Amino acid sequence: MDLALIVDFVKQQLENERTGHDFHHGQRVANLASKMYLQDYSDAHSDSRIVSIIMAAGYLHDTIDEKICDDPQKVIEQIKALLKKVGFVDLEVQDILFTIEHMSFSKNIEHHYKLPLSGQYVQDADRIESLGAIGIARAFTYGGKHGNLIYDPKIKPEKLISHKQYRNHEETTINHFYEKLFNLEDLMNTNSAKKEAHKRTAFMKKFVDEFLKEWNT
């Protein structure tokens, strides 16, 4: 299946994005999610249609993100038409739309949504993108864009219990590691993702340890 129309759509939708949720992030999510699916399922048990669904959802997932998109419902309707034009059948379109509408961390703080298998790989890949060296770069890019302090020892990390609190509480970028990023490893759905998340989380913890040592020098 040719996903060129989806790629072009995502490039257009995210061309002005500067917080780490850009086209390249979507591309990495799509590629990583499909790679992990193929690692977990041998050639005899993998499904090329599922790979196409994973790729499409990976590319598209941030085009309706509330942090970026002013009118998600309008974009959802555009995506629905686009997916049908590309060649996805109705059930596949439903899976893709359900995934990108329900996969975000914030949507799952108060209620855990059960995603289809394809969506579980996309969700895992998106969360892995918040870890490791890429995750560190994206965290500080997002924090700087939104005027967050790098760190303030007087501002303590909070336990996240609601979408509203997550979006509105006083936050520093270092606190974000404790409030969210270090916890993502335990939220992974799939075997390949659990292994990759563990490796990237370990790297990230070393970075934060070094940061705090240098801060307190």
Cβ contact 29:129 at 8 Å: yes
Query: In angstroms, rounded to a whole number, what is the distance separating the alpha carbons of residues 214 and 181?
Result: 21
pLDDT at 7: 98
Question: In the chain, what percentage of residues exceed pLDDT 70?
Answer: 98
> What is the arithmetic mean of pLDDT over 175-180?
98
Cβ contact 211:146 at 8 Å: no
Query: In angstroms, rounded to a whole number, what is the distance separating the alpha carbons of residues 5 and 11?
Result: 10
pLDDT tens column, 88-124 = 999 999 999 999 999 999 999 999 999 999 999 999 9
pLDDT at 43: 64
Strand partners, 172: 149
pLDDT at 174: 98
pLDDT tens column, 38-72 = 999 976 566 899 999 999 999 999 999 988 899 99
pLDDT band at 1 (very low <50, low <70, confident <90, very high): confident
* pLDDT above 90: residue 153: yes
What pTM value is reported for the model? 0.96
Average pLDDT, the chain: 96
DSSP 61: G
Query: In angstroms, rounded to a whole number, what is the distance separating the alpha carbons of residues 57 and 21?
Result: 14
Residues of 200-210 as b/e, b for ≥16 C-beta within 10 angstroms?
Answer: bbeebeeebee
Residue 112 CB burial class (10 angstroms; 0-12, 13-18, ≥19): exposed
> What is the arithmetic mean of pLDDT over 116-138?
98
pLDDT at 126: 98
Instruction: Please work out, in degrees rounded to the nearest 5, the angle formed at the alpha carbon of residue 108 by the alpha carbons of 192 and 139.
Output: 70
Length of the chain: 217
Question: How many alpha carbons fall within 13 Å on the CB side of residue 51?
Answer: 18
pLDDT band at 2 (very low <50, low <70, confident <90, very high): confident
pLDDT at 45: 65
pLDDT band at 37 (very low <50, low <70, confident <90, very high): very high
Which residue ranges form the domains of the chain, and what is each CATH number? 4-215 (1.10.3210.50)
Interhelix angle 4-13/23-40, nearest 10 degrees: 140
